[in-house]
Amino acid sequence: MAEPYVIKMPQLSDTMTEGVLVSWEKPVGARVERGDVVATVETDKAIMDVEVFREGYLSGPLVAADVVVPVGEPIAWLVELPEQVRRESAVVSTDTASQTNSVPAAIPMPATVAAAMPAPVPGAYPAARPQQGAASPFARQLAGQQGVDLNGLRGTGPGGVIVAADVLAAGGDAALVAPTRPTEPAVPGNGRAMTAIERAISQAMVASLSIPVFHVTVQAKPEALIRVAKAHKVSVTVAIAKAASQALSKHPLVNAAYQPADKIVERSQHDIGIAATTEDGGLVVPVLRGVEGKGLDQLQAEWTPLVEKARKRRLSPPEYTNPTFTISNMGMYGIAQFDAIVTPGTAAIIAIAGNGPEGMPITITADHRVVNGAEAALFLKDLKQAIEHPEAWLGSTGPVIPEGDYDVQVLVIGAGPGGEDCARELVENGIKVAMVNNAPLPGGECLWRGCIPSKAWRAAADRIRDREHDAAMGLTLGTPKLDWVQLEQHRRGILQTRGEMALKTDQGMKIQVLEGYARFTGAHSVEISGKDARTLTFGACVIATGAPAFVPPIPGIQEALKSGAAVTSDTVWDLQQPPKRLCVIGAGAIGMEMAQMFHDFGAEVRVLEALPRPVAEMEKEVAEQLMKALAHNSPRLQVLTGVKVADVAGQTGQLEIRYQVGEEAATYACDLLLVATGKRPDTSGLNLAAAGVTLGERAAIAADATGRSNVPHIYAVGDVIGGYMLAHTAGQQGRVAAANLLGHSTRYDAAKDSGVTFTRPQCAFVGLSLEQAKAAGVDAVEVKVPLSIDAKAMMTGETDGLIKIVADKVSHRIVGVHFLADHADTLVGEAVLMVSAGLTLEQVAEAIHPHPTQTELFGEMARRLLSRLRRSAKGAG
């Protein structure tokens, strides 16, 4: 008669040393076929099936349920004939720490090896499998503990398999790797034995105590990711894992692990373990494999069965072992914040808490041997970005406009550059849009009170100023004389023509243009008063209402405005004639443009500025050089800085402006006061509270770089959100908002914005100044050239000013260009492309610019700066 075949406790993972018999799936005496599951056992990670690959009849002695059995020890037998079946249970020790079957193993371990065998180190990273032959899982774990290379070892186990005794023989004294546990205080009471999973967690926590860790927390707003998850019909957990993979790709050390002794294992694959709760209250960590190379749909298809098996604790080893990164999400339980524990084999774990007013706290616990604090902080920054802006890594997900029985899909409030560009972008993509405008024709401040009318005046002033160079060129054309009525007729004609063109275009594109004032009555509804009064419901809304002129609280100023003795940038357009003596409060872009234009029209002008320097939005040296230029080319224009205006008194045509500069008090008599102290949003008429929209600094609507407000379906763009209050900025932000509503990946980047102040010479900027670049962490350097050495400037008599380039010293990428130059409004176009496209000094230096033009200065500056950087590098080397 053949010997009975022993069914042993299998080793179902590299870290498993024992298992708990959970259930018998076949009764004693049952016929067993190859591949049948006869029992289930609980490992340190999950409940697993025990399969047999022999035929026979299940026989005792059977290990009873809930008994702990070491790996390799018998749990039952297979016999050939039914009459050989034994029906008794196995005899077990009452010491649960050493419970074992009384029936000897088929191949007993030599006593000498057993005596020398160290207890397993929980969580030790197993050594790689040998290139030839095989090694037992426990041998691999011991090799990982001792740093023994399995290649070259000769196995003494069955079939030449490398076993624990071989590793011990190669590794020397086993005591060197035997774990040491501190003596723990006695605890009174009758303790129960831990389950296998409780014991595994306990051992893992002890092992984790040896890891030097630190914690860093960031707040992330998950609403956009939740919308994406809903749109793709995937769980938020899967979406978070994919977002984490985006950040891991930029910070691979967070995906690495420490390996004893003093090695770092780097992994290109993102195998992300995600803590999940079992039906009995336990915790397991199923692993999503290769997250970096899979889409959300595929990841969800893999996650659904994984999490179901995790709940029932039926995961197989490949489904829970060796994650490269771990996520623990307790936000679903309302936890405000917590720290997770990093375990051996990973360098980091993130703990995700519940979403609150400031966002969702995400805390990383990182192994300081692998990840430093800066790397962890940057990882969290990129993870926050990936969570808050999933469109950046998903691409288009289709329109994210809420669906419902609404009058229009998108309502745009305001028809300036921001609102109009947004509306046009949306209708071009098939979205039904209504645009509410508080005037008969679109265009907003830019067309009616800003860019266009002021530049019409500027064009006339330029013609006057250009005549100053005629004599030097041998020309005699006479003294220019301004016809104010004709100039105003020209200016107003431009505005009317462009307004009518804009309305015709909007209506031709099927935008529903409504004249009136919109007021929110709910999160998806407005009431419109005015010519096209009605109520209207919408799926999403874009607020683009601009910002009126800001009037500071100076005594007497409101009375002067009401009487017409004073004007703002919104009301200056009703002048019957230009002033003879003008006072301007504010030396920003509007104030300086108006001051010099009226000077060129013949006025005496005094500008009073509270700040230490004028045009503070421009680069510092550009502003300083502008003042020097004005000192000799605008003799009737005086600019005072550091001024405090005390009050305004008098009547139309006879005003007195009292002010103080330092300790000195002074008075300026003028016939007109222009208040040019900037703009500030006024949203009081919108009833934002009804929609739940909140304000940020200086009364502006709080919106992110996509234009989204705190209410996910309501966006805001242009002057109403603060920042650069420029027409082209509003237009770009409007297009960005439209793109995001359409599901595309777009953000407004202030670091690549630009602007022109239309003084003579003109001030202009693109991107960052040297100071701004350094504040942003860029190791920046600049190069500049004065216009006085430029041939073209000499020819035209326009030698005031300079141009400078700011570049990253390491990458040579151009991050800023700054101008004080006549015709900067034309030159700035090339600079916009440099910064926007991230061109390098080399690319600009190698470009062939025509001669004689001022654009060739860009190539010359790039070559000069490259030469300087090469010399500096050579000297440092």
- In sequence order, the 6+-apart residues with CB closer than 8 A to the CB of 580 are 602, 603, 604, 671
For residues 95-110, b (16+ Cβ closer than 10 Å) or e, as one string? Answer: eeeebbbebeeeeeee
Which of 215, 251, 270, 368 is the catalytic position? 368
Give the helix, strand, coil percentages of the chain, each rounded to 5. 35, 25, 40
What are the residues facing 119 on neighbouring strands? none
Cα torsion at 509, 513, 518, 524 (round to 10°)?
Answer: -40
Residue 81, CB half-sphere, CA atoms under 13 Å: how many? 5
The bridge status of strand 672-675 relative to strand 581-585 is parallel
| Beta carbons of 788 and 628 less than 8 angstroms apart | no
Cα torsion at 39, 43, 46, 47 (round to 10°)?
Answer: 10
The Cα angle at residue 818 between residues 625 and 698, in degrees rounded to 5: 90
d(CA 205, CA 549): 62
The bridge status of strand 517-522 relative to strand 525-529 is antiparallel
d(CA 595, CA 638): 9
| Beta carbons of 527 and 687 less than 8 angstroms apart | no
Coil/strand/helix, residue 676: coil
d(CA 172, CA 423): 76
| Beta carbons of 452 and 494 less than 8 angstroms apart | yes
How many helices and strands (H and E) does the chain possess? 22, 38
Coil/strand/helix, residue 358: coil
Tokens of 248: 């891991």
The residue to which tokens 């800085």 are assigned: 641
Q: Is the dihedral of CA 148, 150, 151, 155 positive or negative?
A: positive
Residue 457, CB half-sphere, CA atoms under 13 Å: how many? 26
Active site residue 632: no
Coil/strand/helix, residue 480: coil
Catalytic residue ranges? 368
